[in-house]
């Protein structure tokens, strides 16, 4: 999985390309957490992510918890209809900020 990271002061934007599944999510999680030390806003841009499995959902929930614990913000951008439906079916849709 290719991932582009854009950091602007206290904001980190994560732009993965490919599936967020059990194979790719652990590496994505570790790489991203290593860049989050002073971040108060985390943005996950899913424009190039066609699919999120339970492994990807766990990572998203972990990032949401980290940002909530810091009093920060976590947002998702460019969420396709399939992924929105996964969020809806798992009860996550109301917990996430999707723009």
pLDDT digits (tens, 9 = 90+) for 40-60: 999 999 999 999 999 999 999
The reported pLDDT for the residue numbered 71 is: 97
Q: What is the pTM of this model?
A: 0.95
The reported pLDDT for the residue numbered 33 is: 96
Q: Where are the beta strands (DSSP E) in 25-80?
A: 41-45, 73-77
Domain ranges of the chain: 2-98
The reported pLDDT for the residue numbered 24 is: 97
Question: Can you list the pairs that 4-11 forms with residues at least 24 positions away whose Cβ atoms lie under 8 Å?
Answer: 5/32, 5/35, 7/35, 7/39, 10/38, 10/39, 10/40, 10/41, 11/39, 11/40, 11/41, 11/42, 11/43
Does the domain at 2-98 match CATH 2.30.30.100? Answer given as no
Q: Are 77 and 46 in contact (CB under 8 A)?
A: yes
Q: Which residues of the chain have pLDDT under 70?
A: none
């Amino acid at each position: 999985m290719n991932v582009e990271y854009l950091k602007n002061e206290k904001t980190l934007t994560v732009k993965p390309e490919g599936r967020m599944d059990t194979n790719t999510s652990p590496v994505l999680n570790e790489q991203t957490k290593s860049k989050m030390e002073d971040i108060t806003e985390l943005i996950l841009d899913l424009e190039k992510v066609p699919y999120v499995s339970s492994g990807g959902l766990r990572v998203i929930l972990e990032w949401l918890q980290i940002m909530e614990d810091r009093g920060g913000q976590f947002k998702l951008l460019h969420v396709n209809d399939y992924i929105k439906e996964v969020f809806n079916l798992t009860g996550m849709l109301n917990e996430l900020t999707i723009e």
